Amino acid sequence: MRSVLDSWAVLRWLEGAEPAAGRVEAAVADEAVMSWINLGEVFYIVWRASGEAVAHDTIADIRARIALDEVTPHRVREAARIKAEFPMALGDAFAAATAVAHDAPLFTGDPELLDRGGPWYAEDLR
């Protein structure tokens, strides 16, 4: 089954932090999807931690392995609607909107996305 990954999940995967890393690896093998916005979050976090060159290489590897959800006007409105109804970071709202759009579970460990009662289903990878 296809799943949606947020930046929290992908960062744990890159770190090899279990139990999240194994679950994300299995999701990647099963055609996972991620919002471009969340990929941008991974990019700047890796850049800050390891430098620009590593960030570019990391993103290139991720792009080769994960389907990326386009940031369309509709997706922006849906993310904004979610953010208006459920206080959270805008990046988290894009992850939730992507999960809703793909009718797929959102893999995360981010408390802002877990047990919120929203229209998305989140699987806790912690």
The pLDDT of residue 31 is above 80: yes
pTM: 0.96
pLDDT for 102: 97
Instruction: Give me the CATH number covering residue 27.
Output: 3.40.50.1010
At 115, the pLDDT band (50, 70, 90 cuts) reads confident
Q: What is the pLDDT of residues 46-105, one digit of tens each?
A: 999 999 999 999 999 999 999 999 999 999 999 999 999 999 999 999 999 999 999 999
Q: Whole-number mean pLDDT of the chain?
A: 97
User: What is the domain extent for residue 18?
Assistant: 4-124
The pLDDT of residue 112 is above 80: yes
Domain total in the chain: 1
| Residue 72 exposure: Cα atoms within 13 Å on the Cβ side | 9
Sheet with 67-69: strands ordered across: 67-69, 33-35, 4-5, 106-108, 122-124
